[in-house]
């Protein structure tokens, strides 16, 4: 694995934006920006011997800060924090004090996805990004120091390793919002075959906020235990936007999902230490002039967002998402592409 750092020529909030490329012995390549920790490319060789990029995004950095794109912002390829998914009414209480967030998705108006992260020196060819979120940012308590390390193995595994510490009790639930399509020509992911080792999913209210109730997948459209085409049972107007509880011990590293596409012969496996995978088939995706001049439409991608239980900050019986001083938040997620 090698790394290559290239300036985009852009300065945001006084910091320079770089693209960092990681490559391996197979000739695969991953491109990551230190703005938003965006995974912009994941290029591998498919079963036909063709180079194929399995990530949705833009050809250059300007696309990610374009006003039209931001007006209908889908979080393409970004890290999400301090708190992913949705918090009920944007409120939570820690140590008897209530905190009111912007009632918004994925960490507020200006989350970790719109920050320029510092590039830290590393010994091996990998990329470690750091962002220090000051106390009060987006109304979250505590100064939170986050480090996210990316590695590309010679087995085409993209490894994301997160660590965070705080000086005051705070809420944290990080994830990565990478959009995948394993068909070289793009289009709907309805014909991708998807499997998830998850016997239960989390009930959501009309605002997609998790209520605390677990529902068995058996007999529902959410049953991916044996694997099926994504579009086999979905509501074609809604797709999937659902959190699944993975069938593994809490904190254990294990499989979150396995997705295959027959024309490319590619398979994406996702492994994680996190207890939940949020499966999203991009209902709200609407992006013009993306990679290669393509437009992206609803259901043209899927996301497997590994995380803790959404809204668990407000549901005591769920695993805690409060980080205390002296503790280290740590999670690892791996995206492995094979054929």
User: What local confidence, expressed as pLDDT, does residue 104 receive?
Assistant: 62
Percent of the chain with pLDDT over 70: 99
User: What local confidence, expressed as pLDDT, does residue 103 receive?
Assistant: 72
Residue 101 phi, psi dihedral angles, 5° rounding = -90, 170
Which of helix, strand or coil describes residue 330? strand
Integer Cα distance of 274 and 45 in angstroms:
29
Q: Which residues contact 96 (CB under 8 A, 6 or more apart)?
A: none
Rounded mean pLDDT of 203-228?
96
The tens digit of pLDDT for each residue in 305-337 reads: 999 999 999 999 999 999 999 999 999 999 999
Count CB-CB contacts under 10 A for residue 221.
14
Judge whether residue 2 has pLDDT over 70: no
Integer Cα distance of 178 and 54 in angstroms:
10
Integer Cα distance of 289 and 55 in angstroms:
15
Rounded mean pLDDT of 258-273?
98
Q: Which residues contact 180 (CB under 8 A, 6 or more apart)?
A: 54, 55, 56, 189, 259, 268, 301, 302, 303, 304
pLDDT band at 73 (very low <50, low <70, confident <90, very high): very high
Integer Cα distance of 146 and 329 in angstroms:
9
Domains of the chain with bracketed CATH: 2-338 (2.70.98.10)
User: Following CA atoms 248, 249, 255, 256 in sequence, which dihedral angle do they give, to the nearest 10 degrees?
Assistant: 80
Nearest to 52 by CA among 292, 309, 316, 242: 292
Count CB-CB contacts under 10 A for residue 126.
16
Please give the model's pTM, rounded to 2 decimal places: 0.97
The tens digit of pLDDT for each residue in 6-17 reads: 999 999 999 999
Assigned token pair, 14: 């006084």
Count CB-CB contacts under 10 A for residue 335.
26
DSSP states of 149-187 as a string?
EEEE-TTSEEEEEEEEEESS-EE-B-EEE--B--STT--
131 with 143: CB under 8 angstroms?
A: no
Q: Which residues are catalytic?
A: 177, 305
């Amino acid at each position: 694995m090698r790394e290559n750092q290239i300036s985009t020529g852009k300065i945001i909030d006084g910091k320079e934006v770089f693209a960092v490329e990681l490559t391996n012995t197979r000739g695969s390549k991953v491109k990551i920006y230190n703005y938003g920790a965006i995974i912009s490319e994941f290029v591998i060789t498919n079963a036909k011997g063709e180079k194929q990029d399995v990530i949705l995004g833009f050809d250059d950095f300007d696309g990610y800060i374009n006003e039209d794109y931001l007006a209908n912002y889908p979080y393409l390829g970004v890290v999400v924090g301090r708190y992913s998914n949705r918090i009920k009414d944007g409120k939570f209480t820690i140590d008897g004090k209530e905190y009111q967030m912007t009632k918004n998705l994925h960490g507020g108006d200006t989350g970790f996805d719109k920050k320029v992260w510092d590039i830290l020196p590393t010994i091996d060819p990998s990329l470690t990004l750091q962002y220090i979120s000051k106390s009060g940012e987006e109304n979250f308590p505590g100064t939170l120091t986050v480090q996210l390390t990316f590695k590309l193995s010679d087995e085409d595994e993209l490894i994301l390793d997160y660590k965070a510490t705080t000086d005051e009790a705070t809420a944290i639930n990080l994830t990565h919002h990478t959009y995948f399509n394993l068909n070289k020509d793009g289009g709907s992911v309805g014909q991708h075959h998807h499997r998830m080792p998850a016997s239960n999913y989390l009930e959501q209210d009309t605002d997609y906020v998790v209520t605390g109730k677990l529902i068995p997948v058996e007999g529902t459209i959410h049953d991916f235990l044996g694997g099926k085409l994504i579009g086999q049972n979905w509501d074609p107007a809604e797709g999937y936007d659902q959190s699944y509880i993975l069938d593994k011990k809490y904190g254990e590293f294990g499989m979150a999902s396995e997705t295959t596409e027959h024309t490319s012969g590619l398979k994406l496996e996702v492994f994680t230490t996190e207890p939940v995978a949020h499966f999203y088939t991009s209902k709200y995706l609407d992006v013009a002039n993306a990679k290669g001049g393509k437009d992206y439409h609803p259901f043209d991608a899927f996301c497997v967002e590994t995380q803790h239980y959404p809204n668990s900050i407000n549901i005591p019986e769920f695993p805690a998402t409060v980080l205390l001083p002296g503790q280290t938040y740590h999670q690892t997620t791996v995206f492995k592409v094979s054929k």
